[in-house]
Chains A and B, each alone.
Chain A
Amino acid sequence: MFEILGYGFFQNAIIAGIIAAIACGITGSFVIVRRMVATSGGISHAAFGGVGLGYFLGIDPLLGAFLFTVGAAVAIWYLKTHELQETDTITGALWATGMATGVIFIALTPGYAPDLFSYLFGNILLVPYQDLLMMGLLLLLILTVVSIFFNQLAAVTFDEEYAEIMGLPVGGLTLLLFLLIAGTVVLLISVVGIILVIALLTLPAATARLFTRTLPSMMGAAVLIGIGTVFTGIILSYSLDLPSGAMIILVGAGIYAAALAGRHFSG
């Protein structure tokens, strides 16, 4: 089976997987410690509206997804900080509205929507080269933002009220967290698809949390677990001829379950 390493599509898949794993290890750690899993679910499902818009306008569906995730992040943040609604409620509304918008756009688009299934459930073995470039740039942006604001993001995710008392721009930092999620979601769509994004975003970080004691070590471990998860998932997908996105998620869930069981039974 090592002959697949020589194929261009496989090399692209590995590069896409590593980029996605780094992004989801870092952003996912913030999502886990700040308990933003539901918010991330809302933002990622809203992306489907953007995919539909992409088909309708004839532009790259990933660009449409980017616009919609950023829009959803800003909307959730605005409604939350202005205390108009519970984050929970807004998230649910955006989740369904985004999906519905996508369905309508696709229905309005004449002809057949190619690759639709890939956007929903991912197909890392079909990631084109130009998507890799966009993913790489997005990852660079995420890494830059996190390294500049790390101390402040850590303070806000640990104790928001105290961060405000310390004079940190809590509103802006919260928006930044939501935008990090939006950017990471777009990165992950090619890998596991809109429906499964939430799992890859959270499983490696949740696993890492079980045996790490600081946020940076949690992020490092989550990145490594993520890379291992994606790599194993691709190999299994190829050798068993099963969908890659679903295999990656099942591997991630398996590792999480094993880590939980290991901790549980070792006391």
Chain B
Amino acid sequence: MKKYRSFANGLILLAFILVALSVGATHIDNFWSALTHPGSNEILWQIRIPRVAAAVLVGGALGIAGLMAQGACNNALAEPAILGTSAGASFGAVIAILTGLVQVGSVAAVLCGAVGALLATSLTFKLASLRSNLSSFALIIVGIAVSATITALVGLATTMVTRADARSISFWNFGSLSLITTSNVWSLFCVFIVGASIAWKVAPSLDLLSLGDATAFHLGIDTRRVRALALVALSILAGGAVSTVGTIAFLGLAAPHIARFMYGPAHRYLIIQSALIGASLLVLADTAARTVAAPNELPIGLVTSLIGAPILIALVSVKNTIWKTP
């Protein structure tokens, strides 16, 4: 039974992808024929497929990034947006783009985003552990403060320096998949593979880290190294996603929790399921964002919150024994 349940999210994602490819402002004649003949339909192959592929990769990346954040902090509230990771990624990418060094969505922009994400997340951890050992409370409070400060800097930078290709404040705060190109998809794919591989390697150690640093150490885990690797994976995944499509709220928080409620706490298994659920939510949200008020597009970050939040509320309302807050 569990074996079949494992495939459920894969099938749901596949169904959402097909729906996303088939609907939109323009009707595609002979959809199945167009889908099976590469390049035969320009709207399908030049616009929708890159966009849906980006939604799959960004959603998957944010799902795994959230899992890494929660695992490294041993905290149910941790996610890229709360730890300052997303804001740091925006800042890194915006500064590099505004100075004309890189273009949005390029590999260089992704790298700048990942570096910004890593620096901001490290800053949160450093500040949270200044006065005493790292506590969950300090981490969340400091993370929110770091995030707010860096988000303000991104807003100021995009307002003070005008460049047509630098994107708007709305893009960096709420995200958008409307400007995705095929080359962006390849950059995202590379980032996803690198980040997910590190996450896969560190996942079994995160199981032990959930018992607390002391017990993990007694079981042979180098807790500093494991936490650092998880934060590198988090920064690469969130940095790549945010620097290409802006900040998309809620996926990093919701996807791992939904996966945990469905499949239990083992991190390696959760990497696959968090990625599938994150991808499914974003494909669904993006499809809604571009069809509900067509030809206008809704900000994707708002739609992910509207879809993901009720699911999460429903899951935590049911009595559960999967995550206990000390």
Whether both chains belong to one complex is answered with no
Q: Which residues of B contact A (CB under 8 A)?
A: none
